[in-house]
């Protein structure tokens, strides 16, 4: 199958990197044997939105694509252009945050695509009747960095972007349990003294060893070395839970996922058997301490997490199922 994959190239706009969605989708589709052409529509839009849309339509009309995959971000595309492009190929939109953006964003674009994908079952169940082209899928695991046999020399870690609510949680945890933190920090690139002052105002602990991990390999290397992984599921701007890529993507690392209670996750993993959940930070810290002092129990849960991920949640299987749902091959 010939696919035009439309996404942003850079991971958090860091030059020389690749976005995680590119790693998940474009790279996996190539590994499955498809021909994949990449179009960084976001970079082109920053220069000239109209020209980007003209170019996009031209390559869809003349490229002979079976599928045009667009990882949605904002309003870079002109609706009429999408409507016209849909005459020449199957157009599919992948949405990431429908728990917060369905009403004001995704639903307004749905009619301009052949298919639109949501990762939220409650959004799918509530809207499938009104939007018959809405499909349900989920994030997955690349399977490229199996960490089961990697020595676990990090007891407890967090990998991800430090939104303010996450920073406050980590600050509270650090007072009672050592945790190593890696990812995009909240502190802007200002002088050291200014960073320390801003960190204090935000209520987090800043340290100069905090790292931004720019590649899939770097992220996986931390998970693969970690015995227990702190996995907060709260959205960046609310207290609601989100099932995001990290839930599946760390599944082959040999770590134990420790996350707040989220019933949406029960469809994919069994709490107590394949991961560990907590109701509050006191319980989180208590369970970390237990897991770090009961290695056989920790390894049993990590192994079950690994096996479930391998059997059900690899991107290779997920994308194959999605292509089948669209009826193309």
The tens digit of pLDDT for each residue in 261-309 reads: 999 999 999 999 999 999 999 999 999 999 999 999 999 999 999 999 9
Same domain, 123 and 221: no
Looking up residue 40, the CATH number of its domain turns out to be 3.40.50.2000
Query: What's the pLDDT band for 190 if we cut at 50, 70, 90?
Result: very low
pLDDT of 119 higher than 90: yes
Q: Do 166 and 295 fall within a single domain?
A: yes
| Domain presence at residue 298 | yes
In this structure, are residues 235 and 165 in contact, taking their beta carbons and an 8 Å threshold? no
pLDDT at 116 over 90: yes
Q: What is the mean pLDDT of residues 136-165?
A: 92
The answer on pLDDT for 73 being more than 50 is yes
Q: Using 50, 70 and 90 to split pLDDT, how confident is the model at 196?
A: low
Question: What's the domain count of the chain?
Answer: 2
Q: Give yes or no: residues 227 and 90 share one domain.
A: no
The answer as to whether 148 is a domain residue is no
Residue 52 lies in a domain: yes
Average pLDDT over residues 63-72: 96
Based on the fold, state whether residues 86 and 193 are members of the same structural domain: no
Please give the residue that has the higher pLDDT: either 195 or 123.
123
More confident residue, 126 or 17: 126
Q: DSSP secondary structure string, 297-328?
A: HHHHHHHHHHHHHHHH-BHHHHHHHHHHHHT-
| Strands laid side by side in the 226-230 sheet | 180-182, 154-159, 226-230, 256-260, 276-278
Q: Is residue 285 part of a domain?
A: yes
Residue 98 CA to residue 239 CA, distance in Å, equals 15
Mean pLDDT of all residues in the chain? 89
Query: In this structure, is residue 145 part of a structural domain?
Result: no
Q: Which of 3, 35, 7 is CA-nearest to residue 23?
A: 7
- Same domain flag for 210 and 321: no
- 128 and 201 share a domain? no
Residue 147 lies in a domain: no
131 vs 181, more confident: 131
| Same domain flag for 121 and 211 | no
Do 211 and 185 touch, CB atoms closer than 8 A?
no
pLDDT band at 185 (very low <50, low <70, confident <90, very high): low
For residue 1, pLDDT over 50 is answered with yes
DSSP secondary structure letters along 39-100 = EEHHHHHHH-HHHHHHHHHHHHHHH--SEEEEE--SS-S-HHHHHHHTTTSEEEEE-S-HHH
Instruction: Say whether both 221 and 301 belong to one domain.
Output: yes
Asked whether residue 6 is assigned to any structural domain, the reply reads yes
Together in a domain, 112 and 167: no
Comparison of pLDDT for 170 and 204, the residue scoring more: 170
**97 and 130 share a domain?**
yes
Confidence of residue 237 (pLDDT cuts 50, 70, 90): low
End-to-end CA distance of the chain: 6
The answer to whether residue 149 is domain-embedded is: no
Q: Where is average pLDDT lowest: 26-40, 228-242, 260-274?
A: 228-242
Span 307-321, average pLDDT? 97
Which residues span the domain enclosing 202? 154-312
Percent of the chain with pLDDT over 70: 87
C-alpha span between 208 and 221 (Å, rounded): 20
Do residue 87 and residue 15 come from a single domain? yes
Give CA–CA dist 184/121, Å, rounded. 29
Predicted local confidence at residue 188, as pLDDT: 41
Residue 18 confidence (pLDDT): 78
Considering the domain architecture, whether residues 165 and 219 belong to the same structural domain is answered as yes
Q: Which token pair is 40?
A: 């960084």
Q: So what's the pLDDT on residue 192?
A: 44
């Amino acid at each position: 199958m010939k696919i035009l994959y439309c996404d942003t190239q850079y991971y958090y706009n860091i030059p020389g990197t690749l976005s995680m969605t590119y790693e998940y989708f474009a790279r996996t589709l190539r590994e499955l044997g498809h021909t994949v052409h990449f179009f960084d529509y976001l970079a082109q839009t920053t220069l000239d939105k109209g020209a980007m849309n003209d170019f996009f339509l031209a390559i869809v009309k003349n490229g002979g694509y079976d599928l045009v995959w667009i990882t949605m971000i904002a309003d870079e595309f002109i609706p009429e252009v999408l409507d016209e492009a849909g005459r020449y190929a199957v157009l599919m939109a992948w949405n990431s945050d429908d728990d917060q953006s369905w009403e004001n964003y995704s639903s307004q674009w749905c009619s301009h695509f052949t298919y639109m994908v949501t990762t939220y079952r409650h959004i799918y169940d509530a809207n499938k009747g009104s939007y018959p082209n809405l499909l349900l899928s989920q994030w997955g695991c690349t399977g490229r960095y199996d960490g089961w046999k990697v020595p676990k020399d990090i007891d407890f870690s967090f990998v991800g972007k430090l939104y303010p609510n996450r920073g406050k949680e980590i600050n509270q945890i650090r007072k009672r349990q050592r945790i190593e933190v890696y990812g995009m920090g909240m502190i802007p690139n200002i002088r050291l003294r200014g960073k320390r002052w801003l960190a204090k105002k935000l209520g987090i602990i800043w340290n100069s060893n905090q790292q931004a991990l720019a590649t899939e390999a770097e992220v996986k290397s931390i998970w693969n070395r970690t015995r227990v992984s702190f996995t907060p599921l709260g959205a960046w701007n609310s207290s609601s839970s989100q099932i995001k890529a990290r839930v599946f993507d760390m599944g082959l690392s040999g770590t134990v996922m420790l996350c707040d209670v989220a019933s949406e996750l029960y469809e994919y993993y069994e709490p107590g058997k394949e991961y560990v959940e907590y109701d509050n930070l006191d319980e989180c810290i208590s369970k970390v301490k237990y897991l770090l002092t009961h290695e056989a129990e920790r390894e049993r849960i990590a192994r079950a997490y690994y096996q479930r991920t391998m059997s059900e949640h690899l991107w290779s299987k997920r994308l194959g199922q999605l292509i089948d749902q669209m009826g193309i091959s």
